[in-house]
Structure 1
Amino acid sequence: MSYTVLLVDDDDVNHDIAKTMLGEEHEYFSAFNGDDALTLFDERKYDAVLLDVVMPGMNGYEVCKAIRSRPNHSDTPILFISSKDCIEDKLEGFKAGGDDYITKPFDADELSFRIERLVKYSSEIDTLKVSCETAEEVTMTAITSCSELGQCLEFIEKSYQCNTLSDLSKAILETCSNLDLNASVQIGLLGEFRDFCNFGVINPLESELLKKGRESKTVINIEKRSFFNSCYCSLLVKNMPIEDEEKYGRFNDILALIVRGADARLRSLQTNIQAIQAKNKGLRELSQVASKDLEDIEQVFKNYSHSCQELVERLIFDVEDSILEFGLTSAQEQQLRDTLDGAKDDLKQVQEHSEDMSATFNDFFIKLDKLID
């Protein structure tokens, strides 16, 4: 495998030795001091840097530190080459940022092995960095997606507790606000629709577009504006994240689910309202029939009471005419008259009680009609 190598040494002979050991298949760049090394380093990317420790001006450790502080290619593998073999010198090399340290004298195989190992190690590090960055992006996307999906699930849960158009529209717009979206929504029941928004007011054109979108029952995307539509709900979002294709796709899916959830809740509410209306209609019809029957019963009872009254009065009249023929004493006559008057009073009380009952029934039906309405 061919490498691009930067040789940094103040001795020409050491440059020639390194090139001879590594072979002619590699591309070499030579620097004889620290300043030249940094200039060459800034001009391009190298697979490895062979760096002498003892040099005039900047020593190898200082050059290494300068390379590691560079904005570009600062992770290039660096191999120190030195005649110093004590542990302190090697530790100083690693402290400066070096990747390996080889002491003179060395043979060609060892030098080639050290270079190949550094290049392979650097390549693996680059691969790991890319993998880590990819994993981090995937993780962040997953976390973000979970958060966004959580907003959708939270809305679905809230929607079951919404019993009015105002409550449901508030839940929809709060979810959009939590996603940093400017939204308007048009929802309705039984053919009556209302407009709501989480910013300013809805102008007539937007209201008409929401209506047309709802009738189309499809998703309509126009640059940053998107319409999400169903039979009972139409949602307009004005600031869709079109600059982020992945986020844009997620939002399309999430908002479509929100509209479908709202539509399902509205259908349920409409079914309940229609059932209540049907029940009330039946109660109203029953109330009307019962009220009519009560009027008929009341009239029959009035006629009956009137007949009873006439009968009692005629009986009293007949008895008065016949008292002389009975041969009763005055006390007996008075007792008979008192008995007839008592029966007349009792009949009158029965009539008054029936009138009270009729009034009670009338009050009941009035209250029932109000309750149904």
Structure 2
Amino acid sequence: MALQRILAVDDEPFNLEIIEEILEDLDFELKTVESGKACLGVVEEFDPQVILLDVSMPQMNGYEVCKAIKANPNTQHIIVMFVSARGSVEERMEGYSVGAEDYIVKPFGQGELKAKLQHLSQMLKEKDVLAQQVEDATSTAFSAMANSSEMGQIVNYIEQIGEIDSIPRLAAALCQCLKGLGLNCNVEVRLEGQKHHFATTGICSPIVIELFEILHTKGRLHEFTNRILVNYPWLSILILNMPSDDQEKHGRLRDHICFIASVTEQQLLAILTKRKLTQQREDLEAAITMVQGKFKSMISLLDKNRQENEKVFRVLQELFEERIPTMGLDEDQEQFIYQNVDKAIQSSVAREASVHEVRAAFHDIEEDLKVLSRRAER
């Protein structure tokens, strides 16, 4: 469903007026309130899809309001975009730790806010489609695993990914495995200069992508509230719903996640290695084809030259046999000429053997190249 209803919350009426002016030409239903309590009072009835929430408000600040929204099963699905005059990493982390999906810093331009809302509108459409696809795809895959142990699911995942050779399929299997452990996750894969994002819900929110950008080089493990982020060189996994009320289960799942991330990282390396080997094999096969063509052309040219030489000598021999008896030469002179002509012809015939030797040598080289090609396929 596209974005239709927006709730703006700010204790400064002037700021609300600015938001109204920016959004007046867009097809959104906008409602404004001037406090956190007022927001909580209307949010269920109005049922917005996005809340533009000011951080710095008296009595009840934006973080507290967001916590309350995300703690309520009836409102936890609503996208919260914080609006703040401050945008440090710490404040963005705080915003994300209470459940916000995006963050915009005042003063913002008209185009910036519109672009973010239009992006969220598209995200809502894709999320509905992908959520259904994920539900359909995973229901069958995990029905047999419903009663299995956590380790059983991990072993199943490890056995499955050995046959996977594409990033999207590997990410889908990873998300399914973590979902089978009861975990909601976001994944970033960094491979060959590109970044790929995946999530159990189908779409990574802007603030999640921003966190990956900020933290993927800042250490192996980050934990905040009920979230955990695990980093490897090519892979980052963000878990959104760690069991904070059960420390034993929390620790066990954390170990599982780190192990799964490590295994997935190795499979990414295997995929990359296979791609390189495939490219090398294709390059080698192209080189073999080119060399074979050159060999055949060269042998054909040698054989043609030999045939032309032999033809010339045969014609010359016939000419000498016809003319010499009429030249008045003595027998020794005739024998001398016949012997030299015969030597020249024999030399031409010998070249045919040389051509055969060259062809045999080229054949040996071709066989060696085929052996190299077969080795490259292994």
Confirm or deny a common fold (TM above 0.5): no
TM-score of the two chains, using structure 1 as the length reference: 0.41
